[in-house]
């Protein structure tokens, strides 16, 4: 073949390769533009849905009224705390419900966690959730957050199906991203570069909340200290303070963590330097499992008080879609979940159960495999303040009954076989 023909053929091939590359770039650009427009649309839709729900709650009978005077039984009230502060610097409030007994539930709410500047810059919004964007923690309390805190699951009021209906309740809300233990002003840059402060005031909010609890319910004869998600971590971290500083007269305590597993090698440094938690709290962290470390410290301290009863409970789904996504973020920098990372979570859960059992305090466990329909194979995150509180496991047990039995000295395990699969 003449050299000229070879050159022509070579040029044609090069031109074809270039053309294909340009077309692929155009297709990729169009796809990216479509995805961006879809993301913007979903973001706007999510914000609109949240705002719509907030509008239905705010200023209506659906919104818990601010407590003035003495509370009525079986009615939720909102109590603003002047010394409390949400993560973004806005107001902070808790919820209170009076029962008809001297039994008290102190409930630590969940709502994510922030452990560095990246996570601090990505709080939860309806838009971020709808668009599938990373969203790590709630940084304020707004009308929408009421539906996460009260009148569902164990906090359902005025319903006989809830065995805790007659108990007094104080719900310590959460909008600080620090597992309720922080005392710091943390500077960070928002996603648009704006300098902001995340107020890690979880421990201060806890102390102010306990003043309210003590003022309204000074004669608690039986106390359930419970929490879900981020609140599940707070249970072992703060139960000692509740028992010794706020309710030293009480002799009957049940501690319950619903879904508090998140392994991270830098927990000690985070609690000490970023959250600036009280020294006894951060000093007790020695491993990547902050929950086990805090329970280990608590059990050691309670052993010195044989005249007081402490029961210990833990619950979780076995392939938690949300906790596995958090773990995936700290290991792979991807805030997402898949089958592989959920299998890792499952193995870690089995190990954690063994560690809690080794504390030799008769831990009671409740495990489920209730599916989250929005994930392929992922299971739910928390149940105690969800509709699943009344759902039956494969063995026919409900969390409501299991928890009620436990506070009445009938502790047993549910769903242990799910850990073997």
Do residues 200 and 176 make contact, with C-beta atoms less than 8 angstroms apart? yes
Q: What is the pTM of this model?
A: 0.90
What is the secondary structure of 174-186 as a DSSP string? --SSSTT---EEE
pLDDT at 26: 62
Three-state secondary structure of 78-109: EEECCCCCCCCCCCCEEEEEECCCCEEEEEEC
pLDDT at 408: 98
pLDDT at 57: 80
Which of 31, 35, 42, 33 has the alpha carbon at shortest distance from 128? 42
pLDDT at 15: 64
Strands 168-172, 103-108: parallel, antiparallel or unpaired by DSSP? parallel
Tokens representing 369 are: 């495999």
Q: Which residues of 297-316 are buried (b: 16+ CB within 10 A; e: fewer)?
A: bbbebbeeeeeeebbbbbbb
Percent of residues in the chain assigned helix, strand, coil, to nearest 5? 45, 15, 40
**Alpha-carbon span 158 to 148, nearest angstrom:** 18
Q: Residue 311 is inside which H or E element, if any? A: strand 309-317
pLDDT at 146: 94
Compute and round to an integer the Cα radius of gyration of the chain.
25
Tokens representing 21 are: 């590359």
Q: Is the dihedral of CA 85, 191, 338, 36 positive or negative?
A: positive
**How high is the mean pLDDT in each 10-residue block of the chain (421 residues)?**
63 66 63 51 65 78 92 97 98 98 98 97 86 91 94 95 98 98 97 95 98 97 98 98 98 98 98 98 98 98 95 98 96 94 98 98 97 92 97 95 98 96 70
pLDDT at 4: 62
107 Cβ contact list (under 8 Å, min separation 6): 154, 155, 169, 170, 171, 172, 226, 227, 231, 385
pLDDT at 59: 80
Do residues 229 and 381 make contact, with C-beta atoms less than 8 angstroms apart? yes
Location of structure tokens 């309720």: 180
pLDDT at 34: 45
pLDDT at 25: 67
Do residues 256 and 383 make contact, with C-beta atoms less than 8 angstroms apart? no
DSSP conformation class of 306: T
Beta bridge partners of 164: none
Residue 255, sorted as left (phi over 0), alpha (psi -120 to 50) or beta, turns out to be beta
Do residues 75 and 157 make contact, with C-beta atoms less than 8 angstroms apart? yes
């Amino acid at each position: 073949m003449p050299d000229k023909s070879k050159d022509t053929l070579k040029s044609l091939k090069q031109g074809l390769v270039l053309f294909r590359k340009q077309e692929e770039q155009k297709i990729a650009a169009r796809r990216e533009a479509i995805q961006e427009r879809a993301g913007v649309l979903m973001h706007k839709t999510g914000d609109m849905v949240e705002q719509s729900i907030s509008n239905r709650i705010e200023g209506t009978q659906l919104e818990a009224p601010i407590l003035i005077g003495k509370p009525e039984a079986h009615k939720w009230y909102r109590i603003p705390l002047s010394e409390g502060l949400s993560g973004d610097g806005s107001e902070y409030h808790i919820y209170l419900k009076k029962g008809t007994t001297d039994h008290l539930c102190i409930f630590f709410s969940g709502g994510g966690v922030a452990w560095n500047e990246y996570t601090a810059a990505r709080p939860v919004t309806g838009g971020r959730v709808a668009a599938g964007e990373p969203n790590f923690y709630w940084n304020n309390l707004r009308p929408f957050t009421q539906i996460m805190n009260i009148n569902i699951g164990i906090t359902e009021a005025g319903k006989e199906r809830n065995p805790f209906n007659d108990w007094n309740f104080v719900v310590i809300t959460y909008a600080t991203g620090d597992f309720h233990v922080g005392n710091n002003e943390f500077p960070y840059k928002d996603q648009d570069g704006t300098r902001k402060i995340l107020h890690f005031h979880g421990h201060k909010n806890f102390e102010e909340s306990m003043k309210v609890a003590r003022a309204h319910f000074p004669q608690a004869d039986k106390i359930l200290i419970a929490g879900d998600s981020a609140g599940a971590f707070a249970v072992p971290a703060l139960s000692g303070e509740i028992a010794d500083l706020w309710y030293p007269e009480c002799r009957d305590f049940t501690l319950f963590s619903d879904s508090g597993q998140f392994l991270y090698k830098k927990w000690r440094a985070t609690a000490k330097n970023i959250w600036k938690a009280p020294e006894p709290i951060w000093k007790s962290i020695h491993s990547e499992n902050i929950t086990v470390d805090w329970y280990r410290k608590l059990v050691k301290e309670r052993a010195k008080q044989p005249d007081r009863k402490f029961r210990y409970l833990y619950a979780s789904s076995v392939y938690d879609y949300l906790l596995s996504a958090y773990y995936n973020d700290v290991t792979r920098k991807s805030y997402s979940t898949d089958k592989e990372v959920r299998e890792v979570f499952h193995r870690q859960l089995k190990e954690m159960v063994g560690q809690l059992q080794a504390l030799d305090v008769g831990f009671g466990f409740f495990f489920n495999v209730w599916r989250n329909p929005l994930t392929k194979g992922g299971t739910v995150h928390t149940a105690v303040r969800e509709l699943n509180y009344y759902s039956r496991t494969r063995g026919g047990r409900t969390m409501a009954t299991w928890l009620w039995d436990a506070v009445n000295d009938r502790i047993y395990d549910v769903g242990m076989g799910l850990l073997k699969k």
